[in-house]
């Protein structure tokens, strides 16, 4: 479970996130939806412990700042960061060892295959395309076998096959009880895989929905109504 309480973050005079509250229960996919600049990445970076912020963040009932909590979550940043001198395989091994992950070789091989990275395992970090870096970043996060996973605009830069696999992996993780938070500015990217959605604008959550509440209603229309038709 992921709990965000009264989260605020300013960059200088710019209030990027303003008193945000939300919860994503175990085994659910939560979506942060909003245009560029809404504050999505700032929230995710705060959860990941990369920013100073005001408010509280709980992971499985523990403060996100504790080592115990940090062991349980994985973070896929908006812009992948690679170690230039490590191969794809070494990136994954590094994370696997650091987190003392229980993932098996067979499970890892299956993941590499799904994301079409089997034959890229010996490539160095700086020999990869942006999309491949994104895939390594996703594979490293999955290799931890996290209880909570944060994905910041994860579909951007991925090819259609990888987008399809990622969506399937998200649904599988959810069914295993993992808590998932995905940010996106494109609703169609998360269609059919979300359980709770938080619509953001200018640092605030302007609407929260569960899948049941929305039912057959057209989310695109709801989104347009809320944001006055402005979308990026």
Q: Is 227 in the site for Mg ion (CB under 5 A)?
A: no
Q: Which does 42 bind (CB under 5 to 8 A by kind): Mg ion, ligand ADP, none?
A: ligand ADP
Write the CB contacts of 222 (distance below 8 Å, at least 6 apart in sequence). Answer: 207, 209, 214
User: Which of 20, 29, 30, 40: binder of ligand ADP (CB under 6 A)?
Assistant: 40
84-115 burial, b at 16+ Cβ within 10 Å, e below that, comes to eebbbbebbeebbeebebebeeeebeebbebb
Distances (CA, A) of 205 to 57, 148, 227: 16, 21, 11
Number of amino acids touching ligand ADP (CB under 6 A): 11
User: Which of 16, 144, 181, 199: binder of ligand ADP (CB under 6 A)?
Assistant: 16
User: Which of 24, 28, 41, 141: binder of Mg ion (CB under 5 A)?
Assistant: 41
User: Three-state DSSP class for 228?
Assistant: coil
Q: Which is nearer to Mg ion, 40 or 145 (CB)?
A: 40
User: Which of 31, 41, 74, 92: binder of ligand ADP (CB under 6 A)?
Assistant: 41
Q: Which does 37 bind (CB under 5 to 8 A by kind): Mg ion, ligand ADP, none?
A: ligand ADP
Q: What is the footprint of ligand ADP within residues 42-61 (CB under 6 A)? A: 42
Distances (CA, A) of 41 to 76, 78, 199: 11, 8, 14
């Amino acid at each position: 479970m992921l709990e965000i309480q009264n989260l605020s973050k300013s960059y200088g005079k710019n209030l990027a996130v303003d008193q945000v509250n939300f919860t994503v229960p175990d085994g659910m996919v939560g979506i942060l939806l909003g245009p560029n600049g809404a504050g999505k990445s700032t929230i995710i970076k705060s959860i990941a412990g990369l920013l100073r912020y005001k408010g509280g963040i709980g992971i499985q009932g523990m403060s996100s700042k504790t080592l115990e909590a940090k062991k349980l979550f994985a973070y896929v940043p908006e812009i992948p960061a690679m170690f230039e001198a490590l191969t794809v395989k070494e990136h994954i091994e590094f994370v696997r060892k650091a987190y003392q992950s229980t993932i098996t070789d067979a499970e890892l091989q299956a993941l590499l295959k799904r994301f079409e990275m089997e034959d890229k395992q010996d490539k160095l970090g700086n020999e990869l395309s942006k999309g491949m870096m994104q895939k390594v970043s996703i594979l490293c996060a999955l290799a931890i076998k996290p209880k909570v996973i944060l994905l910041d605009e994860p579909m951007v830069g991925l090819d259609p096959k990888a987008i399809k696999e990622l969506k399937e992996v998200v649904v599988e993780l959810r069914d295993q009880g993992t808590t998932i938070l995905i940010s996106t500015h494109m609703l169609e990217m998360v269609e059919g895989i979300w359980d709770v959605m938080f619509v953001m604008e200018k640092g605030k959550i302007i609407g929260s929905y569960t899948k049941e509440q929305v039912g057959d209603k057209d989310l695109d229309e709801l989104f347009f109504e809320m944001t006055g038709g402005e979308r990026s």
